[in-house]
Amino acid sequence: MTQPLAAPHPHEGDMGVPRLIALSDGIYAIAMTLLVINVAVPAHLDAAAFRKALGDALPNLGAFALSFSLIAGFWRDHRRILTATPTETNVVTRLTLLGLGLVALLPFPTTLLAEYASQPEAVALYAGTTAAIQAVHATLLMVTQRQVHPSPASSAAASRRRFATQLGAKVLIFVLSVPLAFINTAAAMWFWLTLVPAHFLLSHRGLRRAQG
């Protein structure tokens, strides 16, 4: 279960953070919607052509499912950080816009991945984009830590440290897959699956420490 980074702030007298959250929600929703544009089967096909077109659409469906899952996670992480932030600053705004720009870009490498998964440049661009988004979120988390200022021994501080570790692990996995893509594109994409056990192990380890 996700633990709060800090008590959510009402942001009284400060519309900056709520506006950033609203803008982020809109960009994430649009990016998620754009992912499905390239998933299509032409109309008025005979049975044989339909089956072939359906088979040809499978890579697009796979890329859509992967990117939708990642964007959903990015959105949850980003909202979790912003809702714990008491006030907007120029740094927070710029980092948020940078992250949103990368999220808005993600449908492009998603299309490349679906159409050219055998090309190392396509896999590397996808991995690089996702790593950059996670890196922006990790930086935003560290920057907002100065505003939140919980006690180092508090549960919120411990939760933030676990969250930062998880973000760092995700960045590392995608960064390592970039050079791997130029050796073996399939191996690089399979390497992304290590996100699942890495997240589980880090979460389990953090909960054990918290309970201890």
Question: Concatenated DSSP letters for 25-76?
Answer: HHHHHHHHHHTTTT----SS--HHHHHHHHHHHHHHHHHHHHHHHHHHHHHH
Q: How high is the mean pLDDT of the chain?
A: 86
With beta carbons less than 8 A apart as the criterion, state whether 71 and 106 touch: yes
Looking at residue 85, what is its pLDDT?
A: 83
Percent of the chain at pLDDT exceeding 90: 57
pLDDT digits (tens, 9 = 90+) for 17-68: 899 999 999 999 999 999 998 888 888 888 888 999 888 889 999 999 999 9
CA distances (Å), origin 5, targets 46, 63, 78, 144: 55, 31, 12, 11
Q: Is the pLDDT of residue 127 over 50?
A: yes
Distance CA 78, CA 74 (A): 6
What is the chain's length?
212
pTM of the model: 0.86
> What six digits make up the tokens of 86?
């008491």
Distance CA 64, CA 34 (A): 9
> What six digits make up the tokens of 11?
């942001």
Band the pLDDT of 13: cuts 50, 70, 90.
Answer: very low
Looking at residue 44, what is its pLDDT?
A: 87
More confident position, 32 or 9: 32
pLDDT digits (tens, 9 = 90+) for 97-123: 999 999 999 999 999 999 999 999 999
Q: Which amino acid is at 182?
A: F
Average the pLDDT over 187-200 and give the result: 91
With beta carbons less than 8 A apart as the criterion, state whether 119 and 48 touch: no
